[in-house]
Amino acid sequence: MRPIRKQSSPVPGDFDEYSDAKPELISRLGMYCSYCERPVSTNLAVEHIEPKKGPQGQPHLTNRWENFLLACVNCNSTKGDKKVDLQNLLLPDRDNTSAAFVYRKDGNIDIHNALNQQQARFAANTLKLVGLDKPRSVVLDANDEEVALDRASQRMQAYLLAERAKENLTACNREPMREKIVDTAVKTGYFSIWMAVFDEEIDMKLRFIEAFSGTKKSECFNQANANLVLPAPNPDALSNGSKV
């Protein structure tokens, strides 16, 4: 999960309407779901980290910048009005979520084995909250070609695309190819998958960190070698941050 920094609120106090925050969130974080990392060109929603309604709702946080992320319809609807306990899960705006998960070629997301027991529990809670622990459902079209309907299938597709891009770089290791791959990554989304596939390529990782809005500003990556900075510096001091 791509670590991101929203920075401080663009308005003094709360927003009049939470939807007013959307342009600034997109400008700072890019047009991606903050949880599953898919690119969302329309219907990207202002996501309330703590639910605004329901029995666990926090209505006083409805229009508060610190409570916002961006989410796709799948993550948003899976999360719904479930209780969110900031102490017991990892969030991309305050934890180094890049250290928490391993992205597999089959579209599955595993919890990184470098986490301690407590951190691993927090990571599992995050996956469950937005349904990123759901396995890929194989759907075939009339020609028996797999159709990437769910998030896991889309991750698998992104992984294959990133692997092809890496082969292209090996075949043609030139500056224009590097730039082209970064453009493709930004368009395709799934920052974490590009980082996983290009794990050996420090220069490419630094380019991805730079190109996906809000990632470099998170300070979760060393700016010289792209190594993880742990725990997350959490420069805006968001509550319960830096758990990883």
The residues that touch Zn ion, with contacts defined as CB under 5 A, are 33, 35-36, 72, 75
When the beta carbons of 159 and 201 are compared against Zn ion, the nearer one is 159
* Residue 102 contacts residue 196 (beta carbons within 8 Å): yes
When the beta carbons of 111 and 127 are compared against Zn ion, the nearer one is 127
Measured CA to CA, the distance from residue 232 to residue 56 in angstroms comes to 28
User: Closest distance between Zn ion and the C-beta of residue 180, in Å?
Assistant: 26
When the beta carbons of 40 and 99 are compared against Zn ion, the nearer one is 40
User: Closest distance between Zn ion and the C-beta of residue 70, in Å?
Assistant: 9
**Would you call the peptide bond into 135 cis, given omega within 30 degrees of 0 as the criterion?**
no
Q: Which helix (H) or strand (E) holds 12?
A: none
User: Closest distance between Zn ion and the C-beta of residue 51, in Å?
Assistant: 16
When the beta carbons of 109 and 204 are compared against Zn ion, the nearer one is 109
Q: Which distant-in-sequence residues (6+ apart) come within 8 Å of 194 by Cβ? A: 158, 162, 185, 188, 204, 208
When the beta carbons of 71 and 196 are compared against Zn ion, the nearer one is 71
Measured CA to CA, the distance from residue 24 to residue 12 in angstroms comes to 14
User: Closest distance between Zn ion and the C-beta of residue 3, in Å?
Assistant: 16
User: Closest distance between Zn ion and the C-beta of residue 156, in Å?
Assistant: 15
